[in-house]
A and B are shown apart, each in its own frame.
Chain A
Amino acid sequence: MNDRVFGVFTLLLTFFYIFSAYIVEESFISDHVGPKIYPYIVSFFLISSSLFLFFKPDIKPKWPEFRKIIEILITAIILIMYAVFLPVIGFVFSTFFASSFISWRLGAKLSSAFTAGLIISITIFILFRKILGLSLATGPFGF
């Protein structure tokens, strides 16, 4: 993807944004401007800058190879799963898996990644939950 494609993407996004502003149901008491005008103003600048990107793109960015992009997407999915499972299986377990995964993908051997994950999740739990008293997800086991 280059600037040109991104310009088209933001242009489409802006149209969706304008539509979303257009369908806002105004309340019967309103100030002079109302809730729609300001989003329209923002949209004007969004459209102009998107068009500018489309017609005068910079040099193409260097995207990583396909395999890397997939790897990044998988990491994102793992992190989203982390968010979902956090309240279900508790902080220590989910953090152990997530941080081991990141550490592994950043080049650690599996065994040291798991060790790192274990140390990270337990340290954060003790530091933030036990010492600083933050509310972390507890899950069925209480940790």
Chain B
Amino acid sequence: METLNFLIDGFRVALTLENFTLALIGCILGTIFGALPGLGPANGVAILIPLSFSLGLSPASSMILLASVYYGAMYGGRISSILLNIPGDEPAMMTCLDGYPMTKKGRAGEALTLTGLASFFGAMFATIGLVLLAPQLVKVALLFGPVEYFALFVMAFATLGGVASKNQAKTVLASCLGLGIATIGVDHQTGVPRMSYEIIELYDGIDFLVVIVGLFAVSEVFVFIENTNLDKLNDEKKIIIGNIIPKLKTVKKIVPAMFRGTFLGFLSGILPGAGASLGSFVAYTFEKKISNKDDTFGKGDERGVAAPEAGNNAAAGGALVPMLALGVPGSGTTAVLLAMLMTLDVTPGPLLFKQNPDVVWGLIAALFIGNIVLLILNIPLVKYFSKILLIPSKYLMPVVAMVSFVGIYGISGSSFDLIVMVMFGLLGWMLRKLDIPLVPIIMGVILGEHMESNLRRAMTIHDGDWFMLISSNVSIVIWSITFVGFILPFFFRKKIKLTINKLQK
């Protein structure tokens, strides 16, 4: 009952004209960011954060705007997967497998409608799951002290690569690069400058937004410049959608697939470090295992598009659970959302539900509303969104680059930040080439300070006894999960790699 009252209050926050407009804009922008190959949810959110700061939005409003972008990108990703066989963002990769074959059979419209439905289904259930689960997790989290929190942060990093990672060492390296960057600047506990070498601009540390926008958005410009020649192929692309109304029989056929996809996706979303890509991966492979009786998967089976789409949208919602309840994000995009809350002086984690109920419940209500808006945007209006795919990157990328610059400059007004951002753009391009994941770097930069301060607070409480880090039962459980989560991929990776390779053929 209590939850219901909170939810009603949440709708009051979300249904104000300002917030509803922001949710609408967020959904539209998110779908666009998701649909355009190369611009994922993390990109979209990263570019918009500086703008929402500069516009002076309240924490609840910024959260509503950005979470709508996040959900929207999950919907939008499927559009280019289905129409062009190019995943709009990483989680939409699995949707290509059966989505594009459907397009080749002239059933693109149907595929878009079915995936739109599946996305709605997954996201709606995940949001309900969030409502039910997060307050419970908060109760547990209130028992956590610095020792447990430190363990939790380590767990987030150790499991970050997760089963989907290609090389654990690279994930560790990337995380530590991020954590290292976070230590630059004045040490918050003692007030002494660290690693700043008398450079005044470094005393405040490197702003995480500069790192995020540099690594994600600016590096994308370099990637596009590198692949200019490939762009010519795209000039000839034609988009034919056709009939968008599927037969009732087909809809019935995908319902069980949506259920399974949603369940698996939500689970993988809650797990730290897994995120939406894993959600859609697990949903697709599982669905294929149990439904592929006539060997129709990979040749345009409707269940093969419904399951991963339900999966990635459910995972997106699931990933908000640990982010809101514990303050420990499970994925890159939720880490960015978390960072935004911290910058607005809102502390995520269990206290968030007590101190800023308007942010939490307003956000949750906005997600419900956003879902309905997204369903409308993504089924009847999908034709207009798919037109966006026809904008050539030679006109699109300059816009992305310039808007990134505008956002960062709008906050700090400092050329130094912009230069650092370009450097990170170059670094991001290089790291992508080397197959070193960028998300752990971002998480490191964002969480580094909190992780360190929790460690040091724990040591202060326990008089510098390092063994106290494994003193409580909760912390022992967390450390065990950390250990298992880190070791397991070494055994499973080969198998998963093989599966992915097989699927991509």
Contact = CB atoms under 8 A, between A and B. Distances in A.
Interface of A: 1-3, 6, 10, 17, 20-21, 24-27, 29-35, 38-39, 42-43, 45-46, 48-50, 52-53, 56, 58, 61-64, 68, 71-73, 75-76, 79-80, 82-84, 86-87, 95, 98-100, 102-103, 105-108, 113, 116-117, 120-121, 124, 128, 132-137
B430 to A, nearest CB: 8
B280 interface: no
Given A75-B225, A84-B415, A136-B410, A29 B190 contact: yes
Contact of A99 (B177, B402, B413): B402
Interface in B161-206: 166-167, 169-170, 172-173, 175-177, 179-180, 183, 187, 189-195, 197
A51 B450 CA distance: 28
Q: How many of chain B's residues touch chain A, expressed as a range?
A: 35 or more
B253 interface: no
Contacts of A48: 172
A36 to B, nearest CB: 8
Contact of B192 (A6, A35, A61, A105): A35
B195 A124 contact: no
19 contacts: A24-B187, A24-B193, A25-B192, A26-B192, A30-B189, A31-B189, A32-B456, A33-B464, A38-B452, A53-B170, A79-B422, A82-B405, A83-B415, A86-B415, A100-B398, A103-B394, A107-B232, A120-B402, A121-B402
Interface of B: 51, 54-55, 166-167, 169-170, 172-173, 175-177, 179-180, 183, 187, 189-195, 197, 218, 221-222, 224-226, 228, 231-232, 392-395, 397-399, 401-403, 405-406, 409-410, 413, 415, 418-419, 421-422, 425-426, 429-430, 433-436, 452, 455-456, 459-460, 463-464
Contacts of A43: 176, 180
Contact of A72 (B191, B225, B402, B455): B225
Nearest to A55: B169
Nearest to B461: A32
A102 B170 CA distance: 31
A38 B459 contact: no
B434 A1 contact: yes
Given A31-B456, A68-B226, A103 B415 contact: no
